[in-house]
Amino acid sequence: MKGLAVGRRQAILAMGAGGLMATASPAFANAARWEDRKKRIAIFGQRMAYFETGKGRPIVFLHGNPTSSYLWRNIIPHVEHLGRCIAPDLIGMGDSAKLPNPGAGVYAYATHRKYVFELLLRLDVERDIIFVIHDWGAALGFDYASHNPGAVRGIAYSEAILRVPGAPPEPPVAAARALFDKFQTSEGEKLILEQNFFVERLLIGGLKYYLTAADEAEYRRPYLEPGASRWPTLQWPRELPAYNQTNAEIAAAYSAWLAGSTHTPKLFVHALPGAIFANPELLKFALSFPNQKEVRVYGPHFVQEVSPHAIGRALAEWIESLG
């Protein structure tokens, strides 16, 4: 309890020092340069793209739906002097390859996990790992850490998919239950595969004035072709624990591990107003994690686009504190 109280005081101090101030600024690299700076590697016969900079112990940045490594472009510069920063594009997303014969289940959580875990192995990322994770990328990072705790130096997370012990699995944003239910239907397929709903409405529409035209173009680029190219953004909402029993069990397992992981340092980047952690029960659960510091920053679900420099500074300070 004492450690939690200290963490809360630190969070309040961070707010007072400007943690709630939006910090818009020019992008770290324009869209074309970001694409060109990525490396490529064959994983299970498919191209995976990733951005890499810096040297030393690994700092792995994992994005969620429907973004890419581009999400981290303004945060990585704050910590690239502290380690080897690696930001992959999940399979079928960003500049990673589209899987053949896309359809229901092709981009399942298990598939993404297989590709990401193999990528880390191939890049010799097996020890002293710091994960910086968001959305479904948080699920992947938590899952990895819960199975390989000795390989993980720390976890920084925001807007993460968790499951409160004993609670029924629900969509992470209760207010959007009807929308997420719709994504499970043929009507949802039309919204996403034909209208690119996740990119246009939830990402670009939700961020409004925080994205430049170049940013919008970069987020649209992997999904310009209606239909098959957009399947990753449709499959992800169908993978939520509320709709997938296997993933509900996975989320329950890593959530239980987080609640008892006294030896793994954590940084909870609490986005306000946020989306997932606007759920009071879920927020209370996250705040209960041991060995954790909380910092509050202004922003919605895609908080990295609104307050990247506040996040970057908090992340750098936390990583330096780990020694």
Is 187 an annotated catalytic residue?
A: no
Q: Domain coordinates of the chain in residue numbers?
A: 2-322
The pLDDT assigned to 24 comes to: 39
Model confidence over 98-118: pLDDT tens digits?
999 999 999 999 999 999 999
Please provide the CATH number assigned to the domain covering 2-322: 3.40.50.1820
State the catalytic residue, choosing from 112, 301, 305, 309: 301
Model confidence over 246-274: pLDDT tens digits?
999 999 999 999 999 999 999 999 999 99
Q: How far apart are CA 319 and CA 10, in angstroms?
A: 15
pTM for the model stands at 0.91
Listed residue (87, 43, 92) closest to 232, CA to CA: 92
**Residues counted in the chain:** 323
Q: How far apart are CA 221 and CA 216, in angstroms?
A: 9
Q: How far apart are CA 39 and CA 87, in angstroms?
A: 10
State the catalytic residue, choosing from 95, 135, 189, 294: 135
Is 270 an annotated catalytic residue?
A: no
CB-CB contact of 267 with 296 (8 Å): no
Listed residue (126, 121, 152) closest to 267, CA to CA: 152
Model confidence over 162-193: pLDDT tens digits?
999 988 877 767 668 889 999 999 999 999 99
Q: Which residue has the tokens 């380690």?
A: 83
- Mean pLDDT estimate for the chain: 90
State the catalytic residue, choosing from 52, 143, 159, 189: 159
Is 301 an annotated catalytic residue?
A: yes
